[in-house]
Structures are given as structure tokens and as C-alpha cells.
Amino acid sequence: MIGRNGIGIGIGIGHNLDGLSMKILLTGGTGYIGSHIAVVFAQMGHSVVLYDNLSNSSASVAGQINAITDEKCVFVRGDIRDTAFLQSTLRSQQIEAVVHLAGLKAVGESVEKPIDYYANNVQGTISLLEAMEAERIKTLVFSSSATVYGQPQYLPIDENHPTSATNPYGRSKLHIEEMLSDVAASDGGWHIACLRYFNPAGAHETARLGERPAGKPNNLMPFIAQVATGERTVLSIFGDDYETPDGTGLRDYIHVMDLAEGHAMALQFLISNAGWHAFNLGTGQAYSVMEMIKSFEKASCQKVAFNVAPRRPGDVAACFANPDKAMLVLGWTASRTLDDMCSSTWHFYQSFDNAAGKAKG
Ligand code: NAD
Ligand code: WQD
């Protein structure tokens, strides 16, 4: 593990998650990250509307969220590019703030299908902004990504690091951030936060929610989990000759529930702060691919078979956050450990009903 100051991840300070109860629409609300945010928000007493076209999720997730929270989250099946329907949903549900997660997120696919990525992510966001403006809703939290930093020029990465993009997915995030900055500059009534996620991982402690990608996983953690369950035979480590302590890539993995709580803190901040704001959501600690394998083996008591493959094009040796701004300004810091990420993922995978395509229970 590489950290900025050598301290472990468990450095959480007390989160003040109390606040006003609001009516919040989550675009992409039945997706991996949106579903965990929905739980956090519903348990805080907010009214949550999940707005999703189900292109990469299932309506059963709304049932799992409601089972966890005993709250009535409303699920609306819709596409963010359908401006009229989105606007009527904002109005009928009396929405006061939006967390915008909906979008396509696979880097490789974005290189093959850039039009889909710009249409879904950029055009979808324009449609959302038009609907929000028409309804005079001007509080927005956007799911951005550390991908907007491009090739790291220094580590750890703070919010002042130059932005750039190396693929259409990353460029769509950057375009959206720039659009949102222009929108906030044009009208002081907007309150916008761009949250730049590092590497989300882990699952809900009930094992009802987690990440179960259809087809071959792009990301490391679900791939490791699928080797541990025996669904896949072997993990290919993409390069062991990087300039890192064990030669494998270093990343800043953040528990999805810490990430979800970061959204709650960002929303609370936006209530009293107008303008455009960017925050890193990461831990500041970095783990190597090899450390991830070892940690998952310990949490699952399973062997994770691996071989060493060539480097993946576009990968960097190391990428991790300076999360100080989120701590100082939002009062947020990640508190869950790598073991929490691995054990919750393992628990979720063991509970997943492959035949039904959803978590059991
Ligand atoms: P996800 O695919 O699980 O969730 C996205 C949801 O958006 C899905 O449920 C999908 O059905 C929905 N969606 C897609 N296009 C839509 C549209 N046009 N209209 C309505 N719904 C639509 O992905 P996730 O991992 O939960 O990511 C959520 C957001 O966070 C994305 O914007 C992603 O780019 C961003 N992000 C994710 C990661 C990561 O590693 N998971 C890292 C950084 C940023
Ligand atoms: C992590 C490490 C790989 C798979 C990507 C997107 C980024 C963001 C998060 C959305 C790297 C290694 C991986 C495998 C491996 N998404 N690896 N074998 O590349 O940091 O970021 O997801 O915004 O935009 O680019 O995450 O999980 O793909 O890889 O060795 O089968 O694991 O080389 O070192 P990454 P990742």
C-alpha cells in the first residue's frame, strides 16, 4: 500500500449526515453506485426517485433498495435524453435536487462507439440541464471521474491537477464538467458539484446491492471476484514491470458506501454554496493489483489464479487522490478498509442468484 502519509484508510472523521429532508432524483439510480447512494439518502430521510432506462441495471434493484431502507423509493423507468418525460417527472415528483449518475462508462467500448458515448453522456446531460432549468431546479451533483486528470503529472492528484482525456469516455466526462462550469458561471442560481471518483469497489453490507457486470468485467475487483467464485479461470495481471514496489499497477480503491456518503456531504454543502465545485472522492491510499489479489484471497478464503499479461494500452503505473479538499470543505473522508471492500464484494457474489440475475432475498 502506498499512502501520502503512511496512515491507513480507517481515518474517518464523524460525518454529519443530518440535514434538511429533500426530494432528490437520481439519474442512473438503479446502477451500481446510484443504488448505494439511494440507500444512504433514504436512510437520511430524503425522498428518493430512481430514474433509469435500465440499459445497465435491473428494476429489481429498486426492490432491494426498498428492502434495505423500509422506505418507499420511487422507481421511474426513463431515459435522460427524453427531455419532456424527464421534465414531467421532475415536476410531478416535486424534485429539489438531482444526482446525475446515468451514463455509459466502459473505456474500451467508448473507443469503438464514440457517438453512443457522446449521445448518452453529453447529450443526455444537456437534456437534463434543459429539464432542470425549465423546472427551476438548480442543485446538481455530477458523477465525474479521476479519468478527467488524464495521464497523472504528479501524485497524489489534487483538484488543481490539469485535466485532459485519453479516450471518448473520459472526454465525455470532461465536456460535461466544462458545460456545468459554464452553466454555473452564467447564472448564480446554480449549485453544482462534480465529484471525481477514483476506483469504486465493494458492495452493501446486506449483500443485496453490488456490482455484477454483464459479460466480461472491465474492472479489476469484479474480475477477481469472478475468479474466486470459479466463474472465470484466471485473472490476467496487465503488466508487472511498472515502476511500483511490486511492478503491478497502483490505484486508489474507495468503498462504494464511502463514495455514497460523499454525495450526501456534497449535497449538504451545495445547499449553502452556489457555483461550480470539483472534489476528489478517493482515500489517498493506493494498492497494487497484487495486493488486491492477496486481500481478496484473505477475505474469501479462496485462491485467485493469475497470470501476467502485457500492459493494457492506456494504463498508467499509479493513480491516487489527494482527498484533502473533500475533507476540509465537505467534512468527508473515507473510513472503510480494503478488507471491507473485498469481504462485502465476496458476500455479495456469494449471495447473488445467477439464475435470477439478482441478489437473493
Ligand atoms: P452503472 O452502469 O452501474 O450505472 C449507470 C446507470 O445509468 C445504469 O443503471 C444505466 O441503466 C443508467 N443509464 C445509462 N444511460 C442512461 C440513460 N440515457 N438514461 C437513463 N439511465 C441511463 O455505472 P456506475 O458504476 O454506477 O456509474 C455511475 C456513474 O459514475 C457513471 O456516470 C460513471 O461514469 C461514473 N463513474 C463510475 C466509476 C466506476 O468505476 N464505476 C468511476 C468513475 C465514475
Ligand atoms: C485497476 C488496475 C489494471 C483488470 C477504470 C477507468 C476509469 C474509471 C475506473 C470510470 C489497473 C489492473 C484490471 C484486469 C488487471 N472508470 N487490471 N487485470 O483502469 O484504474 O480505471 O475504471 O470513470 O475511467 O479507466 O481501473 O479496475 O480497470 O484497473 O491487471 O483484468 O487493475 O491494469 O492497474 P482503472 P481498473
Q: Name the pLDDT band for 361 (thresholds 50, 70, 90).
A: low
Query: Which stretch of DSSP H or E encloses residue 37?
Result: helix 32-44
Of 285, 275, 277, which Cα lies nearest the Cα of 333?
Answer: 285
Predicted pLDDT at 4: 46
Could you tell me the three cell numbers for 160? 488543481
Predicted pLDDT at 214: 86
Domain count, the chain: 1
Predicted pLDDT at 9: 29
Q: Name the pLDDT band for 13 (thresholds 50, 70, 90).
A: very low
In the block, residue with C-alpha cell 432475498: 361
169 is catalytic: yes
d(CA 307, CA 248): 12
Predicted pLDDT at 357: 73
Predicted pLDDT at 352: 82
Could you tell me the three cell numbers for 92? 410531478
d(CA 151, CA 178): 19
| Inside any domain, residue 297 | yes
d(CA 172, CA 54): 20
| pLDDT per position as a tens digit, 268-280 | 999 999 999 999 9
| Inside any domain, residue 3 | no
Give the burial string for 201-215 (b: 16+ CB within 10 Å, else e): bbbbebbbbbbbeee
Give strand ranges (E) for 96-160: 97-100, 139-145
Q: Are strands 2-3 and 285-288 parallel, antiparallel or unpaired?
A: antiparallel
Q: Which ligand is nearest to the CA of 117?
A: 1
| Inside any domain, residue 153 | yes
Of 299, 276, 298, 296, which Cα lies nearest the Cα of 288?
Answer: 296
| pLDDT per position as a tens digit, 210-236 | 999 989 999 999 999 999 999 999 999
Could you tell me the three cell numbers for 294? 492477496
| Inside any domain, residue 5 | no
pTM here is 0.95
Active-site residue among 117, 169, 197, 253?
169
Predicted pLDDT at 278: 98
Predicted pLDDT at 6: 33
Residues with Cβ within 6 A of ligand 2? 105, 107, 145, 147, 199, 218-220, 223, 235-238, 249, 251, 289, 312, 315
Burial class (CB in 10 A: 0-12, 13-18, 19+), 82: middle
Which residue's CA is the nearest one to ligand 1's atom 27?
33
Contacts of 294 (CB under 8 A, 6+ apart): none
Which residue's CA is the nearest one to ligand 2's atom 11?
249
d(CA 120, CA 125): 8
| Inside any domain, residue 2 | no
| Inside any domain, residue 294 | yes
Residues with Cβ within 6 A of ligand 1? 27-28, 30-34, 52-57, 79-81, 101-103, 105, 120, 124, 143, 145, 197, 200, 219
> Once rounded to an integer, what is the mean pLDDT over residues 33-39?
98
Judged against a pLDDT cut of 90, whether residue 355 lies above it is answered with no
Q: What is the CATH number of the domain that holds 106?
A: 3.40.50.720
Predicted pLDDT at 72: 75
| pLDDT per position as a tens digit, 94-131 | 999 999 999 999 999 999 999 999 999 999 999 999 99
Q: Which atom of ligand 2 is nearest to the CA of 292?
A: 32
Predicted pLDDT at 20: 76
Give me the phi and psi of 240, to 5 degrees please: -125, 25
Task: Provide the domain limits for residue 234.
Answer: 10-360
The gap from C-alpha 261 to its chain's centroid, in whole angstroms, comes to: 11
| Inside any domain, residue 1 | no
Map residue 170 onto helix, strand or coil: helix
d(CA 235, CA 233): 7
| pLDDT per position as a tens digit, 270-306 | 999 999 999 999 999 999 999 999 999 999 999 999 9
> Once rounded to an integer, what is the mean pLDDT over residues 324-336?
98
| Inside any domain, residue 4 | no
Judged against a pLDDT cut of 70, whether residue 177 lies above it is answered with yes
Query: Ligand 2 mean position to 221 CA, how many Å?
Result: 9
Query: Ligand 2 mean position to 320 CA, how many Å?
Result: 12
Residues facing 141 on adjacent strands? 99, 193
Query: Ligand 1 mean position to 28 CA, how many Å?
Result: 6
